[in-house]
Chain A
């Protein structure tokens, strides 16, 4: 059983398209996150949700819109994709809200914008 699963694993699309990445966790955690990892492997948080409520919203273009239908799911929708959006996107979850919580990561979605 995969604890944090995200789909698709690979996403190749053209500039200007709209795409979504889905994430589900079966750990019963209250908090979920989206991270972006660039080509240099640098990781940066994008969003954090606690029990379906937005907690952290970093300086991310508003083309990125997270949606949490329930606390086990946090999806990421991206409008008008740009070349610079190419990266690996990781979903993560933690039991409690708070920065001293241990994170459990999904295996990532490699997004390539052509």
Chain B
């Protein structure tokens, strides 16, 4: 089946940049997504990138897509304590045509 993998934890100091990585085995996605889940809340769409693009910038967020390596990343500039959350990438499986979420990366921002 489709595998969408992320590292489980990331810890950064406030003001530094955070980079959250996502690798997938195969995808037919037109869009590839990043969702954010704050404690006790549902997932919220953070940003997404069109599959024909290799970079998208949205204020403090930069999404990079390397289709050849099947690698998606989310960079958060000037990370704030309010960015502490779990971040999920999501892609559409080539095999099943279903949206598959990554394993989630818990970002912890310390002062």
Residues of B within 8 A of A99 (CB): 29, 92, 97-99
Q: Which residue of B lies closest to A105 (CB)?
A: B42
Pick the contact of A108: B29, B42, B98 (CB < 8 A).
B42
Q: Is A102 an interface residue (CB 8 A)?
A: yes
| A92 CB to nearest chain B CB (Å) | 8
Total interface residues in chain A, CB < 8 Å: 19
Q: Is B44 an interface residue (CB 8 A)?
A: yes
A41 in contact with B98 (CB, 8 Å) = no
Pick the contact of A41: B44, B45, B103 (CB < 8 A).
B103
Pick the contact of A45: B88, B98, B106 (CB < 8 A).
B98
A102 in contact with B98 (CB, 8 Å) = no
Q: Which of A56-114 contact B (CB under 8 A)?
A: 56, 90, 92, 99-100, 102-108
Q: Which residue of A lies closest to B103 (CB)?
A: A42
B98 in contact with A56 (CB, 8 Å) = yes
A100 in contact with B92 (CB, 8 Å) = yes
Residues of A within 8 A of B43 (CB): 43, 90, 92, 103, 105
